[in-house]
């Protein structure tokens, strides 16, 4: 039996940062938390065992991708996604709405859902709120997302207004389609960069009533200022006793800014994608490992880091295997960046507990701006 509960433990004195706890049948997760991305049921260049060793207790997978490959029938018949990918922590699934709607040339939106062609083989498919929920339930997700429409950041106001209405109607259908109420279902706030539409979307979803709320449709081309203005607006309108998830936003400074606004949960491809491109987060700023200055550098990637990579390998060696295209470089660099993120979230939680979050906030923002 799946179960979900979010408990707000503590709120920053004089601010909005929150300390909380998610409980599912699979895991207890302290918040604020970061979710590594396992789009196709696998972390990029990282094993489930290493994710757990790094301290992660929840990850996010994607319903659209898993529906197309290998297929939810296969995953369901083999015991669900937890067993299929050998992950005993919590799993959040994205509804697939963003991915389906990003297929601009090969999809058609109607009131009922979206017809689209697979990016893999061109086959025709149809996703509706009901299909999305059925797919996520078949996967065995602990936390499901409503099927929503995410308009482009430069869409006309009239289009975004219609999109909000459609997202609300689809959210109602998603809630009605849920067969197992003990699996959490989150509504996704849309509305682009328009404050009135964001207020309307938030209010309509809160009226329907969900286990938690996601702030979607950001980080898609709007300015950083707009991202956090909308985040602050939405977070301030959402219920105190429900988890708040900011979708797809995730540089270290983005995370600490959003935590200060009252956000509890994050996901982003940045730590793993940057690692595969040779860009590493350290306590002294970013390191681009292919830079020739590291050819003779015997020091660790980050002298203040406790990860396996920093404890065993020099910058020179890491540069060598990255430039040589060795698969090991992807693993070691990914492990380091995810360790950095795990430590970042631990430090954020600890600072909220000890009343020093504002100091950490200033430290991290200043470090990224230097």
Indicate which residues carry an active-site annotation: 94, 267
Angle between helices 252-260 and 357-369 (to 10 degrees): 150
3-state secondary structure of 291: coil
Supply the angle between the helices 224-237 and 252-260 in degrees, to the nearest 10: 30
Q: With contact defined as beta carbons under 8 Å apart, do 255 and 266 qualify? A: yes
- List of residues 6+ apart from 357 with CB closer than 8 A: 12, 15, 17, 259, 260, 348, 351
198 vs 217, 220, 225, 267, 305, CA distance in Å? Answer: 10, 16, 16, 21, 40
CA distances from 138 to 112, 170, 211, 241 (A): 21, 19, 19, 28
- Segment holding 74, helix H or strand E: helix 72-77
Residue 214, CB-side half-sphere exposure with 13 Å CA sphere:
26
Cα–Cα distance measured from residue 199 to residue 206, given in angstroms and rounded to the nearest whole number: 11
Strands (E), the chain: 4-11, 18-24, 28-31, 33-35, 58-62, 90-94, 107-109, 114-117, 124-127, 143-145, 184-189, 212-215, 243-246, 265-267, 279-282, 285-288
Phi, psi of 95 (to 5 degrees): -70, -20
Q: What are the C-alpha distances in Å from 146 to residues 110, 280, 320?
A: 17, 34, 45
Helix 195-208, helix 224-237: angle, nearest 10:
30
3-state secondary structure of 365: helix
CA distances (Å), origin 316, targets 46, 100, 320, 338? 22, 42, 6, 21
Report how far residue 106's alpha carbon sits from residue 111's, in angstroms, rounded to the nearest whole number.
17
- Rounded to 5 degrees, φ, ψ at 70 are -85, -5
């Amino acid at each position: 039996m799946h179960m979900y509960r979010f408990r707000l433990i503590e709120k920053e004195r004089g601010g909005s940062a929150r300390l909380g706890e998610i409980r599912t049948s699979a895991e207890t997760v302290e918040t604020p938390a970061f979710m590594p991305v396992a789009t196709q049921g696998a972390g990029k260049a990282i094993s489930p065992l290493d994710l757990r060793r790094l301290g992660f207790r929840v990850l996010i997978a994607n319903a659209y991708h898993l529906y197309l490959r290998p297929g939810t029938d296969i995953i369901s018949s083999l015991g669900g996604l937890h067993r299929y990918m050998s992950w005993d922590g919590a799993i959040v699934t994205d509804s697939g709405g963003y991915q389906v709607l990003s297929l601009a040339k090969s999809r058609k939106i109607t009131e009922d859902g979206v017809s689209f062609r697979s990016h893999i083989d061109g086959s025709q498919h149809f996703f509706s709120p009901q299909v999305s929920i059925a797919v996520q339930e078949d996967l065995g997700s602990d936390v499901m997302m409503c099927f929503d429409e995410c308009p482009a950041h430069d869409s006309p106001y009239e289009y975004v207004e219609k999109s909000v209405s459609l997202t609300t109607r689809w959210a109602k259908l998603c809630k009605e389609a849920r067969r197992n109420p003990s699996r959490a279902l989150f509504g996704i706030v849309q509305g682009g960069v328009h404050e009135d539409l964001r207020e309307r979307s938030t209010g309509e979803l809160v009226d329907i009533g969900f286990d938690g709320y996601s702030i979607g449709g950001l980080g898609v081309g709007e300015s950083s200022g707009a991202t956090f203005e909308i985040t602050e607006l939405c977070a301030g309108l959402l219920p105190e006793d429900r988890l708040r998830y900011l979708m797809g936003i995730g540089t270290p400074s983005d995370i600490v800014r959003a935590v200060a606004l009252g956000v509890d949960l994050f996901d982003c491809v940045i730590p793993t994608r940057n690692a595969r491109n040779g860009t590493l987060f350290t306590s002294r700023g970013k390191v681009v490992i292919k830079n020739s200055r590291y050819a003779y550098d015997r020091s660790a990637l980050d002298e203040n880091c406790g990860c396996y990579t920093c404890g065993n390998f020099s910058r020179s060696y890491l540069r060598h295997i990255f430039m040589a295209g060795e698969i090991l470089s992807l693993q070691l660099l990914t492990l380091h960046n995810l360790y950095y993120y795990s430590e970042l979230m631990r430090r954020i939680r600890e600072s909220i507990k000890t009343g020093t979050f504002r100091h950490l906030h200033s430290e991290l923002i200043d470090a990224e701006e230097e």
